[in-house]
């Protein structure tokens, strides 16, 4: 069978409904039973499949024994049901590329870009208060909670939050401004609010309770005070990938997409029914949701591609002796790996080495707090740029094919955000590097004109082999394991493409939608210690001296 002949997916021919038992078996924990049944039902709806014979014969979940309960460890912080990031999972995907691919300072989209956007938003709200209220203002104060408090110091969250408060935006902030805050932490900045000028400094950004009953693990509050009186207060959430929400948030109204989809199955059906590609469906949706022209969408994507290429170039140009900021004293290795890999006598080794070097380069830029692109996050900011750089600068793939790849990759990110999460504080590293690798696999397959099923299979494979990956950054710095993890994510993306484009596509057993469900479920059940708290794993076993 040729590669092109085998794309008629027979998975949809499976039966119409799953047989989910409605009775809770005796001795089985009620919560486990309900969760398991819900996952099976969701899989049924998304895939149109009955449970497999194996699944139907599978024993019910084991009764909650004492050791199992102990192994479950600390419960994860549950997400409030009224957060938009939770509610919007019910309708069609409405995310757009300009919301998704964001340029901003590293090292973390949720801990730097999100908080900077939040304090910038609060500053703008405060500036709109009536003049008589502003005249009474004496102080601006930001409190960081949950994961923002637990690992914020290593992420530079306080510097990002202060930068937003003094009117800096993530896409345009000069990283040297943030470096300056690190090197001279006592600096004081006047913030103009009406006729008032209020001095702010890093002392106004408070690391508050790391644990508590928060709506989201990345919660923060911003206050404008008049002495002890609160003139304005807003609770915010940095929900992953630089996306933000606040208490009472309602998403902006958007036009309906031309091709509504909430699953990969639906997205691929649009592509196949219209004899076109996933990328073309995504482009049509971008245009219908935002009202932008094709040229405008392409111009934005070009900006992101160029920024990705620039971050790899900038990372490769750093000295081999450069040491990244922070207590780990980690040496930059991108330039060394690149130079030495280029000398490899075996072509395949050279390919893996230089692809890794590209990912290390962009990821080290993230570690330096320089400008990176969320794809989908700051911690994973080396993965997509590595593939974009390899395809455009090394393989010289046509620009339009790379644009198409960026749109297919965005579809992967949107679906993971829609049904699972992009936030390590919610789902561990599988939600960052796993999603990034899956996106990069879809990018590569699309750039090489793979049929839609092969694009799906490549993305599925890359995501599948990151399931369960925890987030345990050493000392709270997005360096170890993050930087090398980007290199592995990039190489796995290439491997996923290599397998998907060479296997018989219709025999690929696992659908992307099934793997996204597994991502969501694994995220829910992952011990909270492994969700960007630096309380376990490598963060515990590595001793810095
Ligand atoms: S371990 Fe993974 S998820 Fe956690 S900070 Fe590092 S890259 Fe991000």
Give the burial class of 171: count Cβ atoms within 10 A of its Cβ; 0-12 exposed, 13-18 middle, 19 or more buried: middle
**Token pair listed for 338:** 């690149």
- How many Å lie between the centroid of ligand 1 and the Cα of residue 106? 12
Residue 102: DSSP 8-state: -
Measured CA to CA in angstroms, residue 137 lies from 123, 161, 327, 383 at distances of 13, 19, 38, 45
Task: Considering only CA atoms, give the Rg of the chain.
Answer: 23
H helix or E strand, kind and range, residue 524: helix 512-525
Helices H, strands E: what count in the chain? Answer: 23, 9
Spatial CB neighbours of 514, under 8 Å, sequence gap ≥ 6: 43, 46, 47, 460
CA-nearest residue, atom 3 of ligand 1: 429
pLDDT at 41: 54
Task: Judge whether 518 and 16 are in contact, CB under 8 Å.
Answer: no
- 206 Cα–ligand 1 center, Å: 23
CA–CA dist 242, 302 (Å, integer): 20
CA 160 to chain centre: 18
Query: Do the Cβ atoms of 40 and 20 come closer than 8 Å?
Result: yes
Tell me which residue of 479, 459, 461 sits closest to 471, measured CA to CA. Answer: 479
Question: Which of 473, 479, 490, 528 has most ligand 1 atoms within 8 Å of CB, for mutation?
Answer: 473
The protein residue with its alpha carbon nearest to ligand 1, atom 1, reads 471
For 471, residues 6+ apart whose C-beta sits below 8 A from its C-beta are: 379, 424, 425, 428, 429, 432, 530, 531, 532
- Please give the distance, rounded to the nearest whole angstrom, from the Cα atom of residue 432 to the centre of ligand 1: 7
Nearest CA to ligand 1 atom 4: 471
Does ligand 1 lie within 6 Å of residue 379's CB atom? yes
Look-up: residue for tokens 């935002």? 290
Ligand 1 pocket residue status of 117, Cβ below 6 Å: no
β-pair type (103-105, 371-373): antiparallel
Choice from 150, 328, 421, 432 to test ligand 1 binding pocket (greatest atom count within 8 A of CB):
432
What is the enclosing helix (H) or strand (E) of 225?
strand 219-226
Q: Are 105 and 117 in contact (CB under 8 A)?
A: no
**Backbone phi, psi, residue 206, to 5°:** -110, 125
Q: 254-264 b/e with 16+ CB inside 10 Å = b?
A: eeebebebbbb
Helix (H) or strand (E) holding 222: strand 219-226
pLDDT of residue 2: 46
- In the prediction, which pLDDT does 42 show? 54
What is the β-pairing status of strands 205-207 and 219-226? unpaired
**Which stretches of 296-392 are assigned E, i.e. beta strand?**
371-373
**DSSP β-bridge partners for residue 373:** 103
Q: How many Å apart are CA 342 and CA 478, to the nearest integer? A: 27
What confidence score (pLDDT) does residue 28 get?
45
Q: Which helix (H) or strand (E) holds 33?
A: helix 30-47
- List pLDDT tens digits, range 3-42: 444 444 433 332 333 333 444 444 444 444 444 555 455 5
Token pair belonging to 210 = 């790391």
Asked if residue 155 has its Cβ within 6 Å of ligand 1, the reply is: no
110 CA distance to ligand 1 middle (Å): 11
> CB–CB of 475/151 below 8 Å?
no
| pLDDT of amino acid 80 | 72
Interval between CA 405 and ligand 1 midpoint (Å): 24
User: What is the pLDDT, as a whole number, of residue 401?
Assistant: 98
Ligand 1 neighbourhood includes 485 CB (under 6 angstroms): yes
Whose CA is closest to 294, among 243, 267, 258?
258
Helix (H) / strand (E) element for 230: namely strand 229-240
For 320-370, how does the pLDDT look when each residue is reduced to its tens digit (9 = 90+)? 999 999 999 999 999 999 999 999 999 999 999 999 999 999 999 999 999
CA atoms within 13 A on the CB side of 17: 3
Task: State how far Cα 23 lies from the chain centre.
Answer: 37
- Segments of the chain with pLDDT less than 50: 1-35, 39, 45, 47, 50-75
Q: Is the CB of 471 under 6 A from ligand 1?
A: yes
Q: How far apart are CA 179 and CA 262, in angstroms?
A: 41
User: Which residues, other chains included, contact 522 with Cβ-Cβ below 8 Å and sequence gap of 6+?
Assistant: 427, 428, 430, 467, 468
């Amino acid at each position: 069978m040729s590669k092109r002949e085998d794309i008629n997916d027979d998975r949809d021919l499976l039966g119409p409904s799953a047989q989910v038992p409605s009775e809770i078996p005796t001795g089985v924990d009620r919560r486990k039973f309900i969760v398991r049944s819900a996952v099976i039902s969701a899989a049924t709806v998304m895939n149109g499949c009955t449970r497999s014979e194996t699944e139907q014969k599978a024993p019910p979940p084991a009764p909650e024994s004492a050791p199992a309960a102990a192994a479950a460890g600390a419960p994860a912080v549950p997400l409030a049901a009224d957060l938009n990031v939770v509610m919007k999972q019910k309708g069609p995907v409405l995310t757009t590329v300009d919301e998704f691919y964001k340029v901003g300072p590293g090292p973390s989209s949720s801990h730097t870009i999100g908080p900077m956007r939040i304090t910038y938003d609060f500053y703008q709200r405060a500036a709109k208060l009536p003049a008589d209220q502003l005249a009474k203002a004496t102080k601006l104060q930001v409190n960081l909670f949950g994961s923002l408090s637990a690992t914020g110091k290593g992420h530079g969250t306080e510097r990002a939050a202060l930068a937003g408060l003094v009117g800096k935006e993530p896409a345009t902030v000069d990283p040297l401004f943030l470096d300056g805050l690190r090197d001279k932490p006592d600096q004081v900045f006047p913030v103009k609010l009406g006729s008032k000028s209020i001095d702010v400094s890093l002392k106004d950004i408070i690391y508050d309770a790391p644990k508590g009953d928060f709506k989201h693990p990345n919660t923060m509050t911003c206050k404008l005070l008049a002495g002890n009186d609160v003139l304005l207060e807003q609770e915010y959430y940095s929900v992953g990938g630089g996306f933000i929400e606040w208490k009472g948030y309602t998403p902006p109204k958007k036009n309906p997409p031309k091709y509504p989809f909430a699953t990969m199955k639906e997205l691929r059906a649009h592509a196949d029914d219209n004899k076109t590609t996933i990328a073309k469906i995504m482009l049509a949706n971008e245009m219908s949701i935002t009202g932008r022209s094709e040229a405008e969408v392409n111009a934005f994507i070009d900006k992101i591609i160029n920024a990705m290429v620039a971050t790899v170039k900038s990372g490769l140009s750093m000295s081999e002796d450069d040491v990244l900021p922070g207590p780990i004293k980690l040496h930059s290795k991108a330039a060394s790996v690149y130079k030495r890999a280029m000398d490899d006598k075996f072509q395949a080794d050279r390919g893996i080495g230089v692809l890794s070097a590209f990912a290390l380069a962009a990821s080290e830029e993230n570690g330096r707090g320089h400008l990176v692109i969320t794809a989908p996050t700051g911690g994973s900011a080396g993965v997509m740029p590595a593939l974009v750089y390899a395809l455009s600068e090394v393989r010289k793939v046509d620009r339009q094919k790379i644009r198409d790849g960026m749109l297919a990759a965005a579809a992967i990110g949107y679906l993971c955000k829609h049904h699972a999460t992009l936030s390590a504080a919610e789902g561990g590293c599988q939600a960052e590097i796993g999603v990034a690798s899956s996106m990069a696999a879809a990018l590569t397959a699309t750039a090489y004109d793979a049929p839609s099923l092969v694009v799906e299979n490549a993305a599925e494979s890359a995501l599948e082999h990151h399931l369960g990956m925890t987030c345990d950054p050493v000392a709270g710095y997005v360096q170890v394991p993050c930087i090398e993890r980007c290199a592995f994510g990039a190489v796995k993306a290439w491997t996923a493409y290599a397998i998907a484009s060479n296997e018989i596509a219709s025999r690929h057993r696992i659908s992307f939608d099934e793997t996204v469900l597994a991502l969501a479920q694994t995220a829910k059940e992952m011990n909270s210690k492994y969700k960007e708290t630096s309380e376990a794993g490598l963060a515990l076993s590595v001793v810095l001296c």
